[in-house]
Chains A and B, each alone.
Chain A
Amino acid sequence: MAISKSNFIVVYIYGNLDSEEFANYYAMSHDMEVVTFETSGSSGTTSSGIYWQVDGQKVGIELSDASEILTSSDFLINVEEPLLAALNSPELVNRSIWGVILGYKMPGGYYYDDDPSGEEKDIIISATSRLSRIKHTFSLKTENKLYNRQVFSRFNKSDAEVLLIVSRIDGPNLQFCKNIVDKAIVLEKQVFANGTFYIDPYSDQNTTGAEAYTELLVDFYNNMLSTLNLKNWVTTFMDPYIDSAIPYIENDSFVWSWLTDRATTSFFQISNAVRVFFYNADYDGGRTIRDENGKRWPFLSLDAGYVATAGSMSNPTIPGFLNPNAFFYALLRGATIGEAFYFSVPHVDWTVSLFGDPLVVCSFPGTGIIDDDSIGEHAVWEMMSKDLAKAASYLYAKERELKEMLYEIVDITTSMSGDDLGIDILDILLAALPFEGILIDDPTYPSVILLHPAYDLWANNQEGVWEGQLKALVNKLFDFPTFRYFSAEAPSRSPTINEYLSDNGFKVSRLLADITSESKPIDDANLLDEGWWQFEFVLEDDDSNFVNYHFILEVSSEEDFSDISITKDSIAIDNWTYEKEKEVFVPMTSNGVSSSYVGRKIRYEREIDALISVDESLERGTVYYFRVTQYNISTLEQYGSRIFSDIIYT
């Protein structure tokens, strides 16, 4: 079940009428459950004497200090402890709370150091980031396990064990906060974003980290932005020492920029479009949103009518900036703004804060919610060719077994073996149908009973027969690209099977090539060597934390792995690939594959190198067992093994 409003609570300051009014306003606007405390009933006082109570989906906390930034001990006492107590109350446990909205006047963060200097270098932990991990012990700048999830799924129960979706709606006054909610409701009714997407990928920073973030933004601009079907405006790269900036925005729905860290309200021109999400990656934009004369982006963008924004309470470092690819990848798949934020923020227990309404869902003109489950049409051709080759390989193996049985029977049928004569005794027998002339003439001898039926059984499964059973399908599969891609728009118009294989970098099993019509021979360059194999498995989530995985692969012809013929560790990286994007495999690096790729595929391809006398080819038609063990690169901890079996189909 995906996250919904029923999984959220809104937190207010108990005893502060404005704060409670906002909580009521938010809850009513989203049709959340609001009950009077008398009919609901969970409340308590922490060991530090802070009172809290639960009213439906509202939680009131009687803070002794409601400053925007607290000391770490005051934050613990006034916010963390009472909120955790409320979350553990029977009423909220039964509700399955996966998200928290920190309402008007709730603290926005705390100084990490006990004795802050009051200067920019102070680390300020954002309240949303810390409270997202409220179920876990604080760990500064923890890598976010949900970051950049490659196989998308909506935020769910197991994700809520990792972190909660926490957002903050605050501002200089109560009306400011109510306006944010009103804008969210407008977007909810309008559904589609319809304004311009402004993007600024360039900065005046020349560090490696800055170049990497520019590359990320340029990659987003080149590859993903167009899929949103929005008009866009991009800054121009001028000089590595000049920070390109967006001069002003109008009719805008999204802004993604970085560095230039102060602005005025004149930046935001009139917009008839709904303003959805604004992000400027800088070092202190989120430090305050209560200053009505503020010049920082989160305050200005919310003031201008944006539904949500993000910003840093203090320097998050460049690798801590949000990832636009991950953010919009999630939005395109139906995620809320809150989910998209937590799928795109690299660290938690850190400085970056989400502001605004996390429940908002935004669609894009002309795009439906993307279905990641469907198989790409070229990938499916390759998968089908492998399936067909595996069927052929089982037929090949079946014939081989029945022939072996026939040999066994021949051996008891004659007084001599083929080895003695240096000839194939079966060939002689089969050439001398119906056998009797050369068999021992003894009615109790098994040959009299068994040779004919064994021969019939084999004959009905011999190569020519099973190839004939597959021939029509092989031809149809090989003809498929020619008939499927006949239009002028196709990359290669009505390609032959060889052109199609070359264009896509595919190769096919010789078992299939031997079946296809003689008029359509497969080029040798498009054939897999006999004994070639590739093992593929899906990356599993074996650790509750964000980790980088490597893999140990063992191959055996024995189900119990009593005789292991091949052992490979992916730390060596050669011949290992992983699915970086859907159906796109790239070579593995020494960093392995991170938790973000859970659900993606990992491959190992047999190694063959005559120079060093390595040949990992396996026997055609034989089933092998593959045991794979994931391990943590940092700790070398090995997780549980998985065992697979597969037939060699080449």
Chain B
Amino acid sequence: MISATLYLTIANIIDSAQLKGVSIVAHIDQMSINLINSEIPSTDLSEMRLERQIIATSSLLDKRHDVYTPQMLGFVFRLQTYIDDNYSTIDDFLGDNNIQVKSIFADISDKVGFPIDPSHIVSPSE
């Protein structure tokens, strides 16, 4: 059986890795904001080409990192299934081991059919 410590480590890594998607896309979008707010005329051909590429890259990174990818959903599904099969429920496992997971991990878990009781989720202020 996977240890509670390792489970929490994995859950936190998943949360952190998924959270990075927000920053990745935000920095690409910031490029666009800076370019628009610059002295470079929006009618300049090279500006338009760069702007188009920024938008295309932002869209790509959004799909691959900001939204939950099939690989991310698949991994969390397997992890929670393993706990569910071998321990009883996810909430029992978390409660018995006094574990609180972070909100993004909890949300992914919910998306793959394993909702987590709010009492086992770290509140935003913590």
Contacts and interface: CB of A to CB of B under 8 A. Distances in A.
A643 to B, nearest CB: 16
Interface SS of B by simple majority: helix
A346 B91 CA distance: 68
Nearest to A475: B53
A374 interface: yes
A183 to B, nearest CB: 37
A450 B75 CA distance: 7
B38 interface: yes
B82 A398 contact: no
Contact of B82 (A401, A449, A476, A483): A449
Given A387-B34, A391-B27, A450-B82, A480 B75 contact: no
A457 B34 contact: no
Interface in A477-493: 477, 480, 483-484
B24 A394 contact: yes
A387 B30 contact: yes
Interface string A438-452: 000000101001101
A386 to B, nearest CB: 9
Interface residues of A, number: 45
Contacts of B28: 387-388, 391, 473
Nearest to A379: B38
A190 interface: no
A157 B86 CA distance: 66
Nearest to A459: B71
B78 A375 contact: no
Interface string A378-408: 0110011001101100110110011011001
Most B-side CB within 10 Å, residue of A394, A395, A450:
A394
A476 B74 contact: no
A484 B46 contact: yes
A605 B60 CA distance: 33
A112 to B, nearest CB: 49
Interface SS of A by simple majority: helix
B23 A394 contact: yes
Contacts of B6: 408, 412
A398 to B, nearest CB: 5
Interface in B55-111: 56-57, 60-61, 64-65, 69, 71-72, 74-75, 77-79, 81-82, 86
B34 A375 contact: yes
Given A384-B34, A457-B72, A470 B57 contact: yes
Contact of A457 (B46, B61, B71): B71
B47 interface: yes
B50 A374 contact: no
Given A457-B72, A473-B57, A477-B50, A374 B45 contact: no
Interface in B1-54: 1-2, 6, 9-10, 13-14, 16-17, 20-21, 23-25, 27-28, 30-31, 34-35, 37-40, 44-47, 49-50, 53-54
Contacts of B14: 405
Contact-size category for B: 35 or more
Contacts of A402: 13, 17
A38 interface: no
Contacts of B75: 450, 453-454, 456-457
A450 B47 CA distance: 46
B89 to A, nearest CB: 17
A453 B65 contact: no
Contact of A469 (B16, B49, B64, B86): B64
A647 interface: yes
A460 B86 contact: no
B35 A384 contact: yes
B71 A449 contact: no
A374 B10 contact: no
A387 B60 CA distance: 16
B54 A473 contact: yes
Contacts of B64: 460, 469
Nearest to B28: A391
Given A380-B34, A469-B64, A472-B56, A394 B78 contact: no
Contacts of A373: 37
A376 interface: yes
Contact of B65 (A376, A395, A472, A483): A395
Contact of B50 (A453, A461, A476): A476
B78 A377 contact: no
Contacts of A412: 2, 6
Interface in A37-77: none
A380 B46 contact: no
Nearest to B44: A484
A411 B7 CA distance: 13
Contact of B78 (A450, A473, A476): A450
A261 B53 CA distance: 63
Contacts of A454: 75
Nearest to A382: B34
Interface in A346-389: 373-377, 379-380, 383-384, 387-388
Nearest to A402: B17
B71 A453 contact: yes
Nearest to A486: B46
Contact of B13 (A391, A405, A450, A477): A405
A395 B22 CA distance: 11
Given A450-B82, A647-B23, A444 B53 contact: no
Nearest to A458: B71
Contacts of B49: 476, 483
13 contacts: A379-B38, A387-B27, A391-B25, A391-B27, A395-B20, A449-B79, A453-B75, A453-B79, A456-B71, A483-B45, A483-B46, A483-B49, A484-B40
For the complex of A and B, the 6 pairs showing the least CB-CB separation, nearest first, are A380-B38, A453-B75, A391-B27, A483-B46, A473-B57, A476-B53
